[in-house]
Structure formats: C-alpha cells, structure tokens
Amino acid sequence: MDDHASPLPRSHFRDWTRPRLKRGRLLWMKVRALPWLLLLALIAASGLNAQQIRDSASSPPELVFEGPEDMSILLDELRGFDRQSLVPAMELLGLDEPGPPIRVIVAREGSVEARRAPSWVMAYAVGNAGWVVLLPQRIPAYPDGNLEQVLRHEIAHVLVARAAGRYGVPRWLNEGLAIVAAREWRFEDRGRLVLEAFRRRKASMADVELEFSGGSVSSARAYAVSVAFVRYLMDEHGSHMPARILDHVAEGKRFRTAFRDATGYSLTDVEESFWADFDFWNRWVPFLTSSAALWMLVTALALLAFRRRRERDEALRQKWEEEELAELEALQVQDHWVN
C-alpha cells in the first residue's frame, strides 16, 4: 500500500457542516415552481395557437373591379380596399369559404347599371350572381364620403346570399345583417327608430319588408327598424344566431321554419318581445334629450308663464275692484251720517 497515494477528492465525502434539505422542503420548492412552469408553457402554447389561428383564419373573397377608363383613378383607389376587413362579416354569417371572386362594377350616372336603380340608391348588389354596382356620383359628399363603407355593405349582401345557399331571405334580414357587418349603425338611424316607435307601437317585419318598396323616407325607416331588430336578435340569442338562421335556410327550409328552428321561437313572438323591450330608455330618453323636446319645453314654460301672469293680473284686478267697492261703501255711510 502506498502511503503517499493522493487523497480522494472532497466531493467523495459528505460535507457534514452543510445542512441538508429535507425531503418535504424540496418537494415544496418544486410545488412552488410548478405555477411558473405552467405559465411558461401557456405562453409558449398561446404563441403557437396564435400562429395556428392566423394560419387557419378565413380568407376574404377576391374582388374584381371594373369601370370606364375615365374613372381609372377611382378604380385604383378601390383596388387598395382592405379585403381583410371582410373577415368579421364572414364570421358573423358563418362563412368558412369566401366563394368565387366578387365582381365590383363602378358605373357613371346615366349608364345602364345606374338606370336599373331608383335615383336615391347609391349602390346595389345581386347576391346570387356575385356582383356589386357602385354609383359614386350619388354618394353624398363624394369623394369625401366613405365609399369603402358602401362597398363593404354591398359585399355583405353577396356573402349573405352565399351563406344562405343562394336561397332567398327577407329583405329586412338581408339589410340588417349588411348594416351590422359594415358597422354602419349611426345616430340618425337611432333617431329614425325612435320616430318609428312613436308612429306605431308595434309593426311586423312583414310590414317593414313592404316599406323597402317605398321612397327614400320609407326605406330609411325600414333600414332603421331592420338593423335594430337584427341587433336585438343577436343581443338576446347570441351573436351566432344570424349564422344559425342562414344555415337552416341553406338546408332548404322556409324562412319562418328556419327562424323557429334556430331561435326556438316564432318570428311573431320575437317581434312582440322586440317592441316590448323598446322601453322608456329607448323611446323616451333619446326624444327628451333632442332639440325638439327642448323647444317644446321652452314653449310649454312660456305658455305656463303667460298663464300665470294672466292669473296674477286677474287677481290684482279683482283686488282693485274690491278696494274701490269698499271705498264707495265707506263714502255712502259717511254721507248718511252727515245728512
């Protein structure tokens, strides 16, 4: 045996001076680290899921623009339209596939396409044919107006037709969905709805359907009620409800049957609930805060002040008459005693 053999490394010996971790404490440290490990795993998974969502997102439809050569500048502007903004409309309608390219025709006033529509119509769509006509010269304040919003509205009509399997749907549903999809709900639309509520407490959607065939004023009321009804339907039954109704229509069901199967209620029942829900806050508050209500209040206060003034004048006149009568009686008594 070699007395001069090198000693064993220190690592081979237990360091009795260093306290050992108890097994329970070591387990507790692992448990405390578990949430952080889970958080890191969730962050990594969310990154993968976001990438998967981006990869699997619905592709917007292709748009093919046509128009006369002297409108080439406008056509170039429209070709820069953000097609990705159509994806929310596809999700609203339950469309996974965009379908074939949509033809967008930009027409001048006096053209064949323009003569097919009333003078107050700014654009229109033929859903089953998959094409849209824009009449930019009819759009108020164009080119400062939002032509892209009009385009988004008309494309939504084509998407509604595709979601319905090219079966027909009522005009009120078609227009209401197009307005919601294009995010066109405006303050003046709510004003029209309030006036409509004052004009008639309840109206069936069949009556609203007929108003689309009237003039611009009648159609404006029909648009306002239609979008309010669609929004109510989504608020009460879920944002997926339009897609469910269109799915049933695409199966070849009649619309009222498709509506009942999707919502669980008849169209008549939902109509009654819609108007019943149009309570004080929806009917009266917008009216009471309007300029018309302000002028009515000012007029009423003026009439009330005039009436009060007349009452005070009449009371003062009667008081004077009574005082004069009392003076005359006093004079008569005084004369009697003198005599």
Same domain, 220 and 273: yes
pTM: 0.65
Q: Give the per-residue pLDDT at 125.
A: 95
Q: Which of 139, 163, 187 is the last residue of a domain?
A: 163
Q: How many domains does the chain have?
A: 2
Q: What is the DSSP letter of 61?
A: P
> Residue 1's pLDDT is what?
47
Whether 216 maps to a domain, the answer reads yes
**Shared domain check, 117 and 203:** no
Mark whether 134 and 207 lie in a shared domain.
Answer: no
**Which of 163, 189, 208 is the C-terminal boundary of a domain?**
163
Quote the pLDDT of residue 21: 47
pLDDT of residue 170: 95
Q: Residue 26: inside a domain, yes or no?
A: no
pLDDT, residue 77, reads 92
Task: Output the domain CATH number for residue 117.
Answer: 3.30.2010.30
Residue 147: CB atoms within 10 A of its CB come to: 20
From 146, 97, 150, select the one nearest 123 (Cα to Cα): 150
Tokens of 320: 């004077």
Give the separation between CA 233 and CA 92, rounded to whole angstroms: 13
Q: How far apart are CA 307 and CA 180, in angstroms?
A: 50
Domain of residue 70 covers 56-163
Q: What local confidence, expressed as pLDDT, does residue 47 receive?
A: 54
Peptide bond into 143 cis (omega under 30): yes
Amino acid letter for position 85: S
The helices-and-strands tally (H runs, E runs) of the chain is 14, 4
153 & 208 share domain: no
- Is residue 132 located within the same domain as residue 185? no
- Show the low-confidence residues of the chain (pLDDT under 70): 1-57, 141-145, 184-202, 279-294, 327-339
* Residue 33 included in any domain: no
Provide the pLDDT for residue 224.
Answer: 84
**Judgement on whether residues 158 and 174 belong to the same structural domain of the protein:** no
